[in-house]
Structure 1
Amino acid sequence: MLNAKPAQIRALIETAGSRFISVEFVKKSGELRKMLVNPARLGAVVRSETFDKSESHVRGAATRKAANPHLLNVWDEIAGGPRTINLDTLTQIKVDGVHYTLN
């Protein structure tokens, strides 16, 4: 069982790079959700689809990330779209074949 802070969990997920990982977490509604995600793919999709690369857009994204360190945006491979994971409600992560249970 791993007792980690959101920043440590984020770093663990980001070590996967473009490899698939699976996560399990409790949704805001209380429902348990499992997802297959690719941490690097969301950035690639957003970069190719976003035309607004203005300074204010970049600052806004940084502000949102700093204000919500417990939220992580990922690409859901099954649904084929972006999703947000609350790192505070993660129960399990599987990265590179290693299974982590969080409390």
Structure 2
Amino acid sequence: MSYPVLFAPGMTPAIIDVSPYWRPPAFADGVVVADALCRYGARPSLPGEVNVSTAAVARALLFRMATTNERLEAGLDVPNPHEEAARYACAATAIGA
């Protein structure tokens, strides 16, 4: 296994982008489809067309919603939370949730 390492003059090298746990490969497919539904106007039929399970897309949407919520609670910038919520609602509707 390899990890990206960040180097900077005068600083100790730092390992970045570490995933401390394993996720099933279907989760990655779900993230791609969920993002396509949320952000890129993909057709609601996309999950079936690319053979990605509803469960994988639902888990990815939950992950995206949770991280958006964490950013809001931490006071970090979320450009338009209402627009973001509408995107998630459209994606959830597309998968029948």
Q: What is the TM-score of this pair, normalised by structure 2? A: 0.22
Query: Which protein has the larger Cα radius of gyration, Structure 1 or Structure 2?
Result: 2
Question: Comparing both chains, which one has the higher relative contact order based on Cα–Cα distances under 8 Å and sequence gaps of 6 or more?
Answer: 1
Query: Counting helix residues as a fraction of each chain, which structure ranks higher?
Result: 2
Query: Counting strand residues as a fraction of each chain, which structure ranks higher?
Result: 1
Q: What is the TM-score of this pair, normalised by structure 1? A: 0.21
